[in-house]
Structure 1
Amino acid sequence: MSKRNIPRTILSIVIGLAVLAIGWFGLQYMSGLKQDPPKKEIPKRIKTVEATTVNNSLVTTDLTVQGRLEAYNKIELFSEVGGAVTTSKPFKKGTYFGKGDVMLRVDDTEARLNIQAQKATLLNGIAAIMPDLKIDYPESFPAWEEYLKNFDIDSPIKAMPEPANQREKLFIAGRNLQSQYYTIKSQEERLSKYTLYAPFSGVLTTASINNGAVIRTGQVLGELMATGYYEMLATVPLSQLNFLKPGGEVKLYSEDIEGEWTGKVKRISDQIDPQTQTVGVYVGVTGKDLREGMYLRGEAAAKALSDVVEIERDLLIDDSSVYAIQNDTLLVLLPVTVRKFNRETVIVSGLPDGTQLLTSDVAGAYDGMRVKLKSAVSK
């Protein structure tokens, strides 16, 4: 390129840049002449909410309990003697026995004959001392004569006459009569164990023998369970235990059958389950259609709380506060003290009477949020 053409090139570049600058400034000037359209202000939307007016009062509390029924009386049956068995009814599971009914008898022939032999020996011993009694102890002879006259080896033995003095007592003892007497009394007591009576009304839940079987001493015969009265073992959290006391009523119901039963708190265990931190509460109940093993639920009458209000659990924030409406326009977060949790409600204290408690579900609620109160009802 020649030196002559260089200035022309530079001049062309300068002219191009000048044209671009003039065009840009012109565009800015024209843009400044155009007015922006006015912006519309979007009004803030205020949510309409509902509230209840707080009135503190005395609230009687209930405690939810649940558990399975167990028979109050249930015992295992053992044999204290051995021999062949005869049952009054089929000794089978589910057989009912009333209190005092004969459940079974063990053959006592051998034991009875042994007692009769012992009584005969005692009878001979008494008869042998009668001549000596008549001579040496005439004042006691009539009593012994009457005793000998009424002595019956087939009837329970009667108490021997009391000695009139120390000499007579030693005389009787020297003939070994008292030892024979107490041996017979012991055998008669054992003879009573050959018949098994029902200690209470109930049904057999297990049966280990049949009619005609030969049993041994100490053998398990079965299990008898009382009907009509049951206990329900409920587990109550340690934090809720102070609401219960023995004697309190419990309304019970079943989810499987119709009916409602009234029970009473009979006992409260002193032991705490270390894993669940719960305590066993025993509720006694009786009634028709109850069976061992039934699962029941209920409400136990607990202590009354004063100066509190019961609200829905959904209204509680972080278990420590609730939203209230101040001056019908502003949400405020108020602290509360939880006195008791229920299944769907919670009992709290710390709210002044007249507080307008928020009951609406407000999305994104926060302390200081502006709202509009729709209506208020008493709580």
Structure 2
Amino acid sequence: MRNIILSIIGVLLILASIFFAKQLIDNKTKPKPVVEKVVKTIYIDTVKNKTIPILIPANGSLVAKQRVELYAEVQGVFRSGKKLFKPGQHYNKGETLIRIDASEYYASVQSAKSNLYNTIAAIMPDLRLDFPNMFQKWQTYLNSFDLNKTTPQLPEMTSEKENYFITGRGIVTNYYNVKNLEQRLAKYNITAPFNGTLTEALTNEGALIRSGQKLGEYIDPSVYEMEIALSKSYASLLRVGEEVELQNIEHTENFKGEISRVNASIDATTQTITAYIEVIDERLKEGMYLEANLNAKEEQNAIEISRNLMLDGDQIFIVKDSVLDIINVKPIFYSETTVVLKDVPDGTIILAKPVVGAYSGMLVKPFSENSTTTDNQ
């Protein structure tokens, strides 16, 4: 009897355990949550193809188109002139920039000129007797000879006998020696080659100047050039004489310039081509830093969008039936912030601003002032 009761109790315990376990399993099963459908609010734009000007950005510093580095070719003491040799001093063309004391050298030049005059005068009696038809032109030459002026050119020798006679007396040799001395004497005075301004002075009045010494720099402040280096891919777009828009780095002043020269060779190291922009404006100074936009060409039937909207593989997002899709495009030109595209049909709806986490097939809705965003962009 006892065994029967124990068996019944065991069976009941087993059944109770099974029931309890089933209850635990059923309680763990929860209903699946309903996934909320998220719709991104986006900014859109409708494509309208038009003519897009291709602007190539560049920058550089201004340098005077005409500039001269002043060097001494002779030695002597720097004598003061009518104007001080100081930076900022303006000179007109032909005015003396630097006057070096040449009194000693001048005396040697005068001695050589006097010797030439005496040599010609000594042959005049022989010319009267042996070459009477040549006497008058040499007499005229002597009459025009002035020791205080530049030595005049020798008369033209019209016959072989005259040439032998004059050359044999050493007159031609003496003449060219004198002209050589006169050329060197002229180097004691350095004159302004054009109207301009002294920008650098490396010596002062009274100082001893040595041959080969740099004395300063002189520029024409009316015309400047800006050297720019552009990628070789733009070489075919550059045109001499084309107008260029420039502005200072503060973007407060605008200037007009034009391409004056384009280098025919490409820098092998940087793979860039050098162009020069000529600028004329009274507000400009040498060394001023400017930014330029070169009008390279105009691209027909194209659009311009932010570079942030471009995807890998030359693709962009479009909106079709409230869903994002991807299309292939043809990039024509990249600037720092934008890209010019072709092959985007008119009327296509594209993103106006990039969307974080965007993918093809994403549900979206256009932004409006009355709409509320369900997710941050």
Which band: TM-score by shorter chain? 0.7 to 0.9
Structure-2 change in CA distance of 1:372 and 1:168 (3 Å): closer
Residues 201-210 or 44-53, more deviating: 44-53
Distance between the aligned counterparts of 1:231 and 1:219, measured in 2? 27
Report Cα offsets for 1:113-161 as digits up to 9, x if no partner. 2232223222222222222222222222222222233332222222233
Provide the residue aligned with 1:166 in structure 2: 160
TM-score norm. by structure 1 comes to 0.82
Provide the residue aligned with 2:372 in structure 1: none
Are the counterparts in 2 of residues 140 and 164 from structure 1 also a CA contact under 8 Å?
no
Distance between the aligned counterparts of 1:47 and 1:209, measured in 2? 73
Equivalent residues in 2 for 1:285-324, closer than 5 Å: 285-318=279-312, 320-324=314-318
> Are residue 336 (structure 1) and residue 336 (structure 2) matched?
no
Output the amino acid matched with 1:58: T
Q: Of the candidates 205, 212, 218, which is equivalent to residue 212 of structure 2?
A: 218
Secondary structure at the aligned position of 1:210 is classed as coil
Q: CA deviation at 1:42?
A: 6.5
Are the counterparts in 2 of residues 332 and 367 from structure 1 also a CA contact under 8 Å?
yes
Q: CA deviation at 1:27?
A: 10
Output the amino acid matched with 1:223: E
Secondary structure at the aligned position of 2:302 is classed as strand
Distance between the aligned counterparts of 1:10 and 1:294, measured in 2? 113
Report Cα offsets for 1:271-313 as digits up to 9, x if no partner. 3363x55444332223223223322222111112223211232
Structure-2 change in CA distance of 1:157 and 1:361 (3 Å): closer
Distance between the aligned counterparts of 2:39 and 2:280, measured in 1? 58
Q: Of the candidates 84, 91, 98, which is equivalent to residue 97 of structure 1?
A: 91
Output the amino acid matched with 2:309: L
Report Cα offsets for 1:173-230 as digits up to 9, x if no partner. 2222222222222222222111110223333343232212222322222222332332
TM-score norm. by structure 2 comes to 0.83
Unaligned runs of 5+ in 1: 1-6
Secondary structure at the aligned position of 2:266 is classed as strand
> Are residue 77 (structure 1) and residue 44 (structure 2) matched?
no
Provide the residue aligned with 2:143 in structure 1: 149
Are the counterparts in 2 of residues 70 and 230 from structure 1 also a CA contact under 8 Å?
yes
Structure-2 change in CA distance of 1:301 and 1:8 (3 Å): same
Are the counterparts in 1 of residues 232 and 266 from structure 2 also a CA contact under 8 Å?
no
> Are residue 272 (structure 1) and residue 283 (structure 2) matched?
no
Structure-2 change in CA distance of 1:21 and 1:96 (3 Å): same
Output the amino acid matched with 1:189: Q
Distance between the aligned counterparts of 2:31 and 2:131, measured in 1? 142
Residues 85-94 or 235-244, more deviating: 235-244
Provide the residue aligned with 1:130 in structure 2: 124
Are the counterparts in 2 of residues 244 and 303 from structure 1 also a CA contact under 8 Å?
no
Report Cα offsets for 1:39-92 as digits up to 9, x if no partner. 996773544545333232332111111222233333321112222221322223
Equivalent residues in 2 for 1:231-250, closer than 5 Å: 231-250=225-244
Provide the residue aligned with 1:63 in structure 2: 56
Are the counterparts in 2 of residues 273 and 279 from structure 1 also a CA contact under 8 Å?
no
Q: In the comparison of the two structures, how many residue pairs are matched?
A: 363
Q: CA deviation at 1:321?
A: 0.9
Are the counterparts in 1 of residues 88 and 199 from structure 2 also a CA contact under 8 Å?
yes
Report Cα offsets for 1:319-361 as digits up to 9, x if no partner. 61111122x3332100112111123321011212332223355
Output the amino acid matched with 2:56: L
What is the identity percentage for the equivalent residue pairs of Structure 1 and Structure 2? 36
Unaligned runs of 5+ in 2: 369-377
Over aligned residue pairs, what C-alpha RMSD do you find? 3.3
Structure-2 change in CA distance of 1:118 and 1:359 (3 Å): closer
Provide the residue aligned with 2:342 in structure 1: 349
Provide the residue aligned with 2:180 in structure 1: 186
Are the counterparts in 1 of residues 38 and 363 from structure 2 also a CA contact under 8 Å?
no
Distance between the aligned counterparts of 2:72 and 2:65, measured in 1? 23
Output the amino acid matched with 1:177: I
Output the amino acid matched with 2:266: Q
Provide the residue aligned with 1:3 in structure 2: none
Structure exhibiting the larger radius of gyration computed from Cα positions: 1
